[in-house]
Amino acid sequence: TQLLEQSPQFLSIQEGENLTVYCNSSSVFSSLQWYRQEPGEGPVLLVTVVTGGEVKKLKRLTFQFGDARKDSSLHITAAQPGDTGLYLCAGEYGAGGTSYGKLTFGQGTILTVHP
């Protein structure tokens, strides 16, 4: 079973601060996804990174996939209270030929942004 470790587990910051969430593994993934989950709802996909070293930006969110495709980071600039939620990274492995892709999730980072 491929394991993904996220850090930190909890993050409590003031509005306007910057933050980075890390997602690390000893396994190589074919792609890495980041999700955001709000209470009472299912996770919603934010981004998928596929290429080692890839950087994607989504407004104030910057996602990076490690060169070796084993780790990823999510950086939020000038956090806002609306960014509050559970952030999950998920790595895809096993897809190829007739094999179906599988997704394994990290344990999540609970972010609270105070006004």
Partner 1 sequence: EAGVAQSPRYKIIEKRQSVAFWCNPISGHATLYWYQQILGQGPKLLIQFQNNGVVDDSQLPKDRFSAERLKGVDSTLKIQPAKLEDSAVYLCASSLGHAVGTLHFGNGTRLTVT
The answer to the question of residue 40 lying near partner 1 (CB under 8 A) is yes
- Kindly tell me which of 29 and 79 has the beta carbon lying closer to partner 1: 29
Residue 81, SS3 per DSSP: helix
Using the rule CB under 8 A, which residue among 15, 17, 41, 67 binds partner 1?
41
Closest by CA to 90, choosing from 105, 69, 72, is: 105
Query: Is residue 6 within 8 Å of 90, Cβ to Cβ?
Result: no
Number of residues that bind partner 1 (CB under 8 A): 26
Using the rule CB under 8 A, which residue among 43, 61, 71, 79 binds partner 1?
43
Q: In sequence order, what E strands does the chain have?
A: 5-7, 10-14, 19-24, 31-37, 44-49, 55-58, 61-65, 71-76, 85-93, 102-105, 109-114
The answer to the question of residue 25 lying near partner 1 (CB under 8 A) is no
- Kindly tell me which of 1 and 82 has the beta carbon lying closer to partner 1: 1
Q: Where do contacts with partner 1 occur on this chain (CB under 8 A)?
A: 1, 4, 6, 31, 33, 40-45, 48, 88, 90, 92, 95, 100-108, 110
